[in-house]
Amino acid sequence: MPSSPSPAPPLRLGIAGLGTVGIGVVKIVQRHGPLLARRAGRPIEIAAVCASSRHKNRSADISAYGWEDDPVALARRDDVDLVIELIGGENGPAKATVEAALAAGKDVVTANKALLARHGQALAEAAEGAGRSLRFEAAVAGGIPVIKALGEGLAGNAMRRVMGVMNGTCNYILTRMESAGLPYETVFEEARQLGYLEADPELDVGGIDAAHKLALLAALAFGCRVDFDAIELQGIGAVSIQDIRLARDMGFAIKLLGVAQMTGRGLEQRMTPCLVPETHPLAQLDGGTNMVVIEGDALGQLVLRGAGAGEGPTASAVMGDVVDIARGLRLPVFGQPAASLVPAPPAAVSAAAPWYLRMVLLDKPGALAKIATVLGEAGISIDRMRQYGHDDAHAPVLIVTHKASSDDIRVALDGFAETGVLVGEPVAMRIEEV
């Protein structure tokens, strides 16, 4: 009788970083070992772990695993086949750990969007040159499988646009401001007290975290090298409760929206507060949830919605990558060989769109006429305009323009500053056609 095939050897994991996500991965492996083995076709085991403190009280038992104080040493262990990097940060130990793992012939799974946004091309070339996998589903939109969708399920599409709400903290702040009628500063402090903000809050509210994610999606969607510095970036700090109310009154919601689209002018990449129609799913997104919208020539529009962070959703994404590697699935890091990725020409001028402009003028004759003249000289026509909350000294004004480029808007804003009729800084937000 023919002998039965030998059972496949286990895939042995080394986990670098035992924060929220790292412990979430440990729990999944401990809880679903037999299920993972059936789905992967081989056992998946944890061989060793690494963190800044060995004796910290954690919500999972790690006593059965090998321990390393140094994540680079973990990456080089002979009993580790795959390194899961959950340290964070674009340089330092995270970068050194991933580089060491690839050099030692190990596969890598990471949730580190900052690392890949800055060093994705070099790391992809290193991984593919070594014949290893570098997977990063957990780096973008938490538990939403958007990386797999772009790299695999939608590979037959020429992509037109990728956009979405990719930072749950910003979405929480904006929706909380609206639902509770609270100013930005109050909700920012509330989010800090709840532990929603990064140690450096600017990573969240400044749009940097979300822009890291957008850079990765753009590379996958358009076959270009990751270029974080090409992203037009603006955070939510200037959005007021007044803006949120006025936008809603016009039938819009304000979201920190990431958009990447290839046009005849080049690749547009922007992460900025935008107005979106209240009837679109993006506008209806509440709290910390993320949403990514993908548009392909064959597909049309696909909307992916789910938890953008947290122990379970992000650990789930990590383990999805681990199981793929255990099955023997090896794909280029960014959907096509890294050597074939080319620098995408950044768009010199963004696609034209309507704009929301809010400003406070001195209440004196001719003030509004000066603003209208500046807009006309910049080639911008007015769709609608209203005054509200008028008092004896100040005249708040809201203007919605017809389609204009961001360059034209910048020219107009510079011209406003020279009129002598502005009180404070004007607010300008694009009205995105979704």
Query: What does DSSP assign to residue 151?
Result: I
Please tell me the distance from the alpha carbon of residue 324 to that of residue 204, in angstroms, as a whole number. 30
Angle, alpha carbons 97-101-105 (nearest 5°): 170
SS3 at position 108: strand
Please tell me the distance from the alpha carbon of residue 356 to that of residue 271, in angstroms, as a whole number. 16
Beta bridge partners of 301: 295
Residues identified as active-site:
213
Q: Which token pair is 310? A: 């947290």
| Residue 243 and residue 174 in contact, taking contact as beta carbons nearer than 8 Å | no
Cα distances from 287 to residues 54, 190, 191, 238, 363, in angstroms, run 34, 13, 11, 19, 39
Please tell me the distance from the alpha carbon of residue 182 to that of residue 226, in angstroms, as a whole number. 37
Residue type (1 letter), 213: K
Cα distances from 209 to residues 202, 204, 268, 271, 350, in angstroms, run 9, 6, 18, 10, 22
Please tell me the distance from the alpha carbon of residue 249 to that of residue 243, in angstroms, as a whole number. 10
